[in-house]
Amino acid sequence: MNSNRDIVIPFRYCDDHADRYLRWTLRSFDLHLRNVGRVVIVGDIPYWLTRDTSVAVGVPYHHYFRHKFQNLAAAMMTSIRSLGILGEFLYSGDDIFHLADYDANEIPYFRRRDAIRSAKEYWSAYDPHKDGERGYVQMMTATRSALESRGYRTVEFEGHATRLCDAAYVGEVASILADAIGDVQFEPSCLFGNVALRHDPDIPCVSRTDMKIRTMREFEKVMAERGSTYCFSIHPCMMQQPDFINAMDALYPKKSRYELW
């Protein structure tokens, strides 16, 4: 019999829609994921989070780093230490919406590619002189160099999906990157956090899911493929479209076991 697997979600009230994102995410867990242990909300704690700590736990954490990737890493390490998380757990964003039924112990792997992508492949209109993501590709390259110099094989995995991590492995990587020279990327769900590499470097991976949906047409396409599509995420611009919000409220209408109110 499979044991339950905890899910860690770094969360911050960074915009007016943060509450809605997280509720949709948790409702999608409740609808589609089996054998989930605790859902750990680390960062800002929603006022509506259930009191049942066997189901969900809030771990307060102040986001004091300037860079998003540093916040994510530090928040995750805080939750691991605070709750004594050992071994494997799932790591998710607060805007990952599940569409297919899965066992939390059998979440599929999504690999992007072995070669680092260029900025244009991440953002088609990327301008390093204007955009807040400037230096991202250089940072990812520096991260690969730091890890590979210590014998770690690095493969970029899909960041916009719930990912399998290992508490000890996260600590190992954190130690290596803490000593690295220059800016590095501690984003466990994206670059290195999939513990599958430690168990089987050649583990087969499914093609990537739709990520950062930007239009209703893209959203409708994902809805039409719900039987095969694992999960999706959205670009913030979608929250300016009332039709989209109504569709998401209809997709995840009922309060989940993670919500007190």
- Residue 243, token pair as written in the block: 């039709």
Nearest partner of 135 among 66, 59, 211, judged by Cα: 66
Mean pLDDT value of segment 251-255: 95
CA dihedral 17, 85, 256, 31 (to 10 degrees): 100
Res. 232: pLDDT tops 80? yes
Give per-residue pLDDT as tens, 14-64. 888 999 999 999 999 999 999 999 999 999 999 999 999 999 999 998 866
Confidence class for position 254, pLDDT limits 50, 70, 90 = very high
E strand segments, the chain: 5-11, 33-34, 36-43, 56-60, 88-91, 97-98, 102-103, 111-113, 156-157, 163-166, 231-232
Confidence class for position 137, pLDDT limits 50, 70, 90 = low
The residues, any chain, with a CB within 8 Å of residue 240's CB and separated by 6 or more, are none
User: What pLDDT sits at residue 112?
Assistant: 57
User: What pLDDT sits at residue 68?
Assistant: 57
**Three-class SS of residue 13?**
coil
User: What pLDDT sits at residue 211?
Assistant: 67
The residue among 136 and 188 whose pLDDT is bigger is: 136
The domains located in the chain, with CATH, are 5-251 (3.90.550)
Phi, psi torsion values for 41, nearest 5 degrees: -100, 115
User: What pLDDT sits at residue 38?
Assistant: 95
Q: pTM, whole model, 2 decimals? A: 0.83
Give per-residue pLDDT as tens, 152-204. 777 666 667 888 788 887 777 777 877 777 777 666 545 555 555 555 656 66
Nearest partner of 49 among 233, 256, 253, judged by Cα: 256
Res. 120: pLDDT tops 90? no
- Residue 100, token pair as written in the block: 């297919």
Res. 81: pLDDT tops 70? yes
**Three-class SS of residue 257?**
coil
Give per-residue pLDDT as tens, 84-114. 888 888 889 899 999 989 999 988 766 655 5
User: What pLDDT sits at residue 207?
Assistant: 61
Handedness of CA 117, 212, 229, 10 (dihedral sign): positive
User: What pLDDT sits at residue 245?
Assistant: 96
Q: How far is residue 174's CA from residue 181's CA, in Å, rounded to a whole number? A: 13
Partner residues linked to 56 by β-bridges: 39
